[in-house]
Amino acid sequence: MKVLANDGVSQSGIDTLTAAGFEVITTKVAQEQLVKYINENSISVLLVRSATTARAALIDACPTLKVIGRGGVGMDNIDVAYAREKGVDVINTPAASSSSVAELVFAHLFGGVRYLHDANRNMPLDGDTKFKGLKKNYAKGSELRGKTIGIIGFGRIGREVAKIALGCGMRVIASDNYVGEADITLDFYDGQKVTLKIKTEPIDQLIQHSDFITLHVPAQKQYVIGRNEIAKMKDGAAIINAARGGVIDEVALIEALDTGKLSFAGLDTFEKEPTPAVKVLMNHKVSLSPHIGAATNEAQDRIGTELASQIIELFKKK
């Protein structure tokens, strides 16, 4: 049985599948050539991340396809319901990358409150001639400790964000349409544990109370944070989006940054991926990363082995 990992897969995943008798192909096939390649090579399993899509037309055109796997959480690049209706199993790895995404949120937060994203742009340009001026510009940072972080979407990733926030001494509030309250357990290196209960509240309340807001929701048809929501936020608040492009109105976001309503934003995902708006990329109050939330070695190893284990179990039943 052949597995096409079209967006790549970790060596640990390849080794696990190979040991179970699967042939793993890591050739990158262009989207427009994918149907032809799958059919010519009798591919049974298609593994994707965010670059490759698996829509109804592809599913209909590829009768050898038995499983579609998404290395990550969101599956908006796959027609999941249609695939399952056609007898194609669809799997993903919702827990494997949670810690990596949560840590990236705090990379943006720590950088934002100390202006590191802007300092890293300007120090190479003016650090040797305007050192004192730059020092003055960036000397009014703030601490995260004692501040309130509002987490919109309190699933696996949102809860990992809460753990780090609590460790930093932050107040944590959360909002989720499906979660009323959740136990957050902090596991320490020596085996000790502390469990705290976090109750959720409506988004409308959360945005008014938060110093920092981070989103962890799937792709939406409408903005979660638009002009009206931003207007209700604290003056000087900040927003982090490491979820999906399109959950924040980027036009309203840039306006709020330019007027000083918001202090900074951290964006790992964008409305117009993979060609983000120039106004977003050039704004000095935006900390930027190119959709790398799950892109750590540890997360990719977990994703690969988790996908492999699910595939092996599925084919045992077939």
For the stretch 289-303, pLDDT in tens is 999 999 999 999 999
Q: Is the pLDDT of residue 318 over 80?
A: no
pLDDT computed for residue 264 by the predictor: 98
> Which positions are catalytic?
244, 273, 291
pLDDT computed for residue 74 by the predictor: 83
For the stretch 218-262, pLDDT in tens is 989 999 999 999 999 999 999 999 999 999 999 999 999 999 999
The one-letter amino acid at 252: A
For the stretch 178-217, pLDDT in tens is 999 999 999 999 999 999 999 999 999 999 999 999 999 9
Is the CB of residue 70 less than 8 Å from the CB of residue 77?
A: yes
Strand ranges (E), the chain: 2-5, 23-25, 43-48, 67-70, 89-92, 148-152, 171-175, 181-187, 193-199, 212-215, 237-241, 262-267, 286-288
Specify the 3-state DSSP secondary structure of 146: coil
For the stretch 38-55, pLDDT in tens is 999 999 999 999 889 999
Is the CB of residue 14 less than 8 Å from the CB of residue 304?
A: yes
pLDDT computed for residue 73 by the predictor: 85
Mean pLDDT of the chain: 96
Q: How many independent structural domains does the chain possess?
A: 2
First-residue to last-residue Cα distance in the chain: 12
Same domain, 311 and 245: no
Q: In this structure, what CATH number is given to the domain that contains residue 49?
A: 3.40.50.720
Same domain, 262 and 309: no
Q: Which of the two residues, 50 and 313, has the higher pLDDT score? A: 313
For the stretch 55-109, pLDDT in tens is 999 999 999 999 999 998 889 899 999 999 999 999 999 889 999 999 999 999 9
Same domain, 18 and 150: no
Domain that residue 301 falls in: 2-93+297-317
Same domain, 161 and 20: no
